[in-house]
Amino acid sequence: MLCCPRTNSPMPSSLLEKTVSGVRLSPEDAAELLRSNDLASIAQAAHRVCRRLHPERERTYNVERNINYTNGCVSGCKFCAFFRAEDSPEHYILDRDTIHAKVAETVALGGNQILLQGGLHPALPFSWYLDMLREIRQSFPTINIHGFSPTEIVFFARKFSLSCQEVLSQLREAGLGSLPGGGAEILVDRVRNEVSPNKATAADWLDVCRQWHHLGGRGSATMMFGHVETVEDRVEHLSQLRDLQDETAGFTAFICWTFQPGQTRLAHLRKIGSWEYLKTLAVSRLFLDNFRNIQASWVTQGMQIGPLSLHYGANDLGSIMIEENVVAAAGTVYKTNEHELRQAITDTGYVPKRRDDAYLEKIGTKNQPFTAIL
């Protein structure tokens, strides 16, 4: 059961001033913040830290597409409404023509990245994945393939009797551009054993990211919260991410979102609301002092709370999401287009600017999207 009691006492100003001035918060500090009900003070501190790291008037977004090449999966995670068993009539594997058509449409709409993920499929050979990457890279050399996840890498290594480093090296050579942080959920094995017992351990997830970073790769870090974890579990998750970032500096951004219980085996759990989301986002900004970018999750929070996140520590609004299937399978469906996303950023007082997939370069002009998506 989620344990997140709120304290009624005001948040000590010294604690927030400490992090605003650049002093690193301890895990105990983070737990105190997560238990506080003083959202206004926490938000103000997170916003000040964000403005220190990003003093420019621009706030960013990009244009990408999620391509779930299969929903076949043997993991059976309790929180997932998307996966299907191989013998299910709803099971699918996208053929190459379908995948290429999706990538082509993304490029035509000005997209710079595809998020390529599937389930832990029991039958596909490793050559299937390598060939898919090579063909996409050959046909669409300008698109970044933000592909798979650490849990998929661990699955590949075990299934094909390879080391994780060998899997990563071969995928990178075939065209993998960056590694998404999917499958992290909460990096505490007690939690993972309850909600996803057939998945990679917390140490496995972290080690895949470590090896990818040592190969020169970059990727995102994530956290899905609001299910069976405690406040201490959230802090442990953030602490492990911060420690690994100290070691490798390989994470480009952190994205957190709330668990969507609809149509899952955890549907009996209370859905976490926007108040808890915004507080956790703000505390993440304060605690993850070695992460330059914090991305908001309008996909789970909608186009009212999502843009509001830019005043709670986030500096990036993510993507317009030409296609999204996993969250939608749980019954949470928010949609937007580039015009609406840019207007939402403008309405928060910032200048919208498209960025590249690595958060390093802003593209287009200040007042015009790179490609109109209507």
The whole-number pLDDT of residue 86 equals: 86
In-domain check, residue 124: no
Residue 260: pLDDT above 90?
no
3-state secondary structure at position 144:
strand
User: Do strands 351-355 and 362-363 pair parallel, antiparallel, or not at all (unpaired)?
Assistant: antiparallel
Residue 38: phi, psi to the nearest 5? -90, 65
325: left (phi over 0), alpha (psi -120 to 50) or beta: alpha
Kind plus residue range of the DSSP H or E element containing 107:
helix 96-108
The whole-number pLDDT of residue 109 equals: 86
Cα–Cα distance measured from residue 281 to residue 74, given in angstroms and rounded to the nearest whole number: 31
In-domain check, residue 168: yes
In-domain check, residue 227: yes
72 strand-pairing partners: 84
The total number of structural domains in the chain stands at 1
Share of the chain above pLDDT 90, in %: 71
The answer to whether the CB of 114 falls within 8 A of the CB of 64 is yes
- Name the band, by pLDDT with cuts 50, 70 and 90, for residue 143: very high
Share of the chain above pLDDT 70, in %: 90
Cα–Cα distance measured from residue 366 to residue 374, given in angstroms and rounded to the nearest whole number: 18
Q: Read off the pLDDT of residues 168-212 as tens digits, 9 standing for 90 and up.
A: 999 999 999 999 999 999 999 999 999 998 899 999 999 999 999
Q: Look-up: residue for tokens 């609809």?
A: 262
**pTM for the whole structure:** 0.91
In-domain check, residue 273: yes
In-domain check, residue 90: no
Q: Residue 61 sits in a domain of what CATH number?
A: 3.20.20.70
355: left (phi over 0), alpha (psi -120 to 50) or beta: beta
In-domain check, residue 354: yes
Structural domain harbouring 213:
44-66+148-363
In-domain check, residue 106: no
